């Protein structure tokens, strides 16, 4: 049994330190029956330029009478969606009292200082963006974060995120010291959402190709007003995949109150 502390923030800064006696070992986090969720298709981009090239591979063809290149509506939509995702990034992202706590979840150098409701926090960096409902006029963009180091549901041997949306491919040891802002394994690139889901895209497919994700991962993220990581999420069990209906995480949290309030939070960790 181990004692850990979590701190919630108010409008005037750090206010209450709560203590929770947590049980050692893995905490089982249920997210319903994943087999009942068929998921949703989204588009995933590492940056605005990738989005523009995917949606308009021949931009030089759009010119005015003077020969100047005219941005297409598809390219302009990329800029709008990136801005919308960026504008909600800090509000929706998991928030931490210090860089170390954030980097434990998201990896070294993957967190940034930020200000939210007058409080100084650390949040995982925005390293991409995802667009749900991209075939409609009610698109839902959101920021993508580095893949989680703790709590992500691993893909079983022989299974890829295409077969089990939401699972994280194990990293391959290539002996290289290079790293990127998004996680990569074999031919898959992975990110995480503010709600705690894993999103992966095959490098062998065009960037414009739809990516299947759990349905609630595609929903617009709500602002997070308490400190701590998002809960662990299950992957979708689909035909050809082998999975359990739950994931295991080394930490869980329960919060009351939040930013701008005099609430308190308590967390447990193994």
Tens of pLDDT along 167-185?
A: 998 864 434 434 445 555 5
Please report whether residue 174 resides in a domain.
no
Is residue 190 helix, strand or coil? strand
**Domain encompassing residue 58:** 2-169+180-269
**Residue-wise pLDDT tens digits, 206-260:** 888 999 888 888 888 889 888 988 887 877 754 444 333 333 333 333 333 444 4
What token pair was written down for 34? 């994943």
163 band by pLDDT with thresholds 50, 70 and 90: confident
Q: 250 lies in a domain?
A: yes
CB distance 134 to 140 below 8 Å: no
Instruction: Answer yes or no: is 50 within a domain.
Output: yes
Instruction: Provide the edge-to-edge strand list for the sheet that holds 128-132.
Output: 140-144, 128-132, 40-45, 211-213
The closest alpha carbon to 137, from 73, 194, 56, belongs to 73
Q: Which of 16-25, 61-70, 160-169, 176-185 is the least confident region?
A: 16-25
Tell which phi-psi region holds residue 89, choosing left (phi > 0), alpha (psi between -120 and 50) or beta: alpha
Alpha helices (H) in the chain, listed in sequence order: 48-55, 73-92, 99-106
Does a structural domain hold residue 201?
A: yes
Q: Can you give the pTM of this predicted structure? A: 0.69
- Residue 201: predicted pLDDT: 92
CA dist., res. 262 & res. 119, Å (int) = 13
Structural domains of the chain, count: 1
Q: CB–CB of 169/186 below 8 Å?
A: yes
> Mean pLDDT for the chain?
74
Residue 212 belongs to a domain: yes
pLDDT at 162: 86
Residues 183 and 179: their CA atoms lie apart, in Å, by: 8
* 28 part of a folded domain: yes
Residue 175 in any domain: the answer is no
Quick check: is 15 in a domain?
yes
Query: What token pair was written down for 15?
Result: 């206010």
pLDDT of 170: 80
Count, residues in the chain: 270
Nearest Cα neighbor of 189 from 178, 199, 179 is 199
């Amino acid at each position: 049994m181990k004692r850990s502390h979590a701190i919630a923030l108010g409008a005037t800064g750090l206010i209450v330190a709560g203590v929770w006696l947590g049980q050692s070992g893995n905490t089982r986090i249920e997210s319903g029956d994943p087999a009942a969720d068929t998921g949703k298709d989204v588009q995933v981009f590492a940056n605005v330029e990738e989005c523009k090239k995917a949606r308009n591979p021949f931009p030089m063809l759009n010119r005015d009478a003077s020969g100047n290149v005219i941005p297409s509506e598809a390219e302009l939509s990329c800029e709008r969606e990136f801005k919308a995702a960026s504008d909600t990034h800090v509000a929706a992202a998991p928030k931490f009292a210090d860089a170390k706590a954030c980097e434990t979840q998201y990896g070294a150098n993957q967190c940034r200082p930020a200000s939210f409701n007058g409080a100084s926090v650390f949040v995982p960096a925005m390293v991409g963006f995802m667009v749900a409902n991209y075939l409609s006029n009610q698109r839902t963009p959101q920021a993508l974060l580095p893949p989680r180091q703790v709590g992500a549901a691993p893909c079983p041997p022989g299974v890829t995120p295409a077969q089990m949306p939401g699972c994280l491919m194990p990293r391959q040891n290539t002996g290289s010291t290079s790293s990127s802002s998004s996680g990569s394994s074999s031919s898959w690139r992975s990110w995480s959402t503010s709600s705690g889901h894993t999103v992966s895209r095959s490098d062998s497919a065009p960037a414009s190709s739809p990516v299947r994700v759990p349905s609630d991962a595609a929903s617009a993220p709500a602002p997070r007003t308490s400190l701590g990581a998002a809960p662990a999420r299950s992957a979708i069990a689909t035909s050809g995949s082998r999975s359990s209906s739950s994931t295991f995480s080394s930490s869980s949290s329960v919060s009351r109150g939040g930013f701008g309030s005099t609430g308190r939070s308590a967390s447990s960790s193994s």
